Amino acid sequence: MRALLHAASLDNMVGSVLGLEHHDHHGGVISDMGDMVREGYELVGKFNLGDYYSTTQYQCLWGLLDFHGVGPRCQRLAARVREQFGRVMEERRKVSDLHKRDDLLSYMLSMPQEERIEDSDVIAVLWEMIFRGTDVVAILLEWAMARMVLHPDIQSKVQEELDRAVGHRPMTDSDIPNLRFLHCVIKETLRMHPPGPLLSWARLAVHDTYVGKHLVPAGTTAMVNMWAISHDETIWGDPWVFRPERFMEEDINVLGSDLRLAPFGSGRRVCPGRIMGLSTAYLWFGRMLQEYKWAAAQPVKLTECLRLSMEMKKPLVCHAVPRSKTG
């Protein structure tokens, strides 16, 4: 399922962020975006010994330690991103109805002059949205579907809720608030398998300090371990059990206001695309379960592998049977 979910997520993100669609003859651009995203994923997961040395103190040594050529590949990717996104921006500036379009790029280009940011910053924002957004939605849904084939009783419960709240018509965004148990399943998936186990809001200790009884030496970079928090038995009852009902008992906000489960971060460093990503996950997950009954085509292994995000080490392979044929 991974390849299909990534392709669908990329199309969705490119459409929302850049306003490009395959049927608008932009298939080549979207394909190039996919190549760049995949290259970025591979580079993030590459081990590079040079990363463990300061580039200011060991600049000449850094290149020698880059056995896999990560540095030059990153430079080539950055140049390609600037060129491709710059071309899309120049074409968009020629559009007469810029203010009427609902994609992020058009919004940023139509802002008042005094509020606009440099093109290089626009490109950075657009690339970050597509690069991270594509990955997170696809990985979250793969974990959620893995849980559904492992827990057919929970899958049936979600489908029963969909039948009651939506009926035979296709689920839409407006149905999402009425699907409480579906929300719980996605939240429980985020708890057990947070896509970003180490949150990006890091802090640097400027002097020796103590956190509880632990010494944190000056120069230490401290990060929030969301994976550890979401599996802490002092916070969660039966943390290793997949039990969506826990969120029926207590409704926990996952958008950053409750640090027991903040998979998208919190505060000023919170993920800017969290609402769009979560809404997409709710809708696609609901649509997939509304239309099909899912079963494992190969043994499901929940072994985790950290690359850009925490993904399944062995990709999920499923059988999808139309529910109309299952009665």
Amino acid at 153: D
Question: Which parts of 48-151 fold into alpha helices (H)?
Answer: 59-65, 70-93, 104-109, 119-150
Left, alpha or beta for 268 (phi > 0: left; psi -120 to 50: alpha)? alpha
Angle at 246 between CA 243 and CA 250, to 5 degrees: 165
User: 278, exposed or middle or buried, with CB in 10 Å at 0-12, 13-18, 19+?
Assistant: buried
73-107 tens-digit pLDDT: 999 999 999 999 999 999 999 888 887 888 999 99
Tell whether residue 271 is among the known ligand binding residues. yes
pLDDT of the residue at 63: 65
Residues of the chain with confidence (pLDDT) below 70: 22-27, 50-63, 200, 325-327
> For the chain, what is the domain count?
1
**CA neighbours closer than 13 Å in the CB half-sphere of residue 119:** 12
pLDDT of the residue at 68: 74
Q: Which domain holds residue 128?
A: 2-325
3-state class (DSSP) for residue 255: coil
Amino acid at 70: V
CATH number at residue 308: 1.10.630.10
Q: The tokens of 28 are what? A: 């080549």
pLDDT of the residue at 26: 67
Left, alpha or beta for 309 (phi > 0: left; psi -120 to 50: alpha)? beta
**CA neighbours closer than 13 Å in the CB half-sphere of residue 4:** 10
* Spatial distance between the Cα atoms of 259 and 265, rounded to a whole number of angstroms: 9
Helix (H) / strand (E) element for 210: namely strand 209-211
pLDDT of the residue at 203: 83
Who contacts 69 (Cβ-Cβ below 8 Å, separation ≥6)? none
* Spatial distance between the Cα atoms of 234 and 212, rounded to a whole number of angstroms: 17
9-53 tens-digit pLDDT: 999 999 999 998 765 556 688 889 989 999 998 888 777 776 666
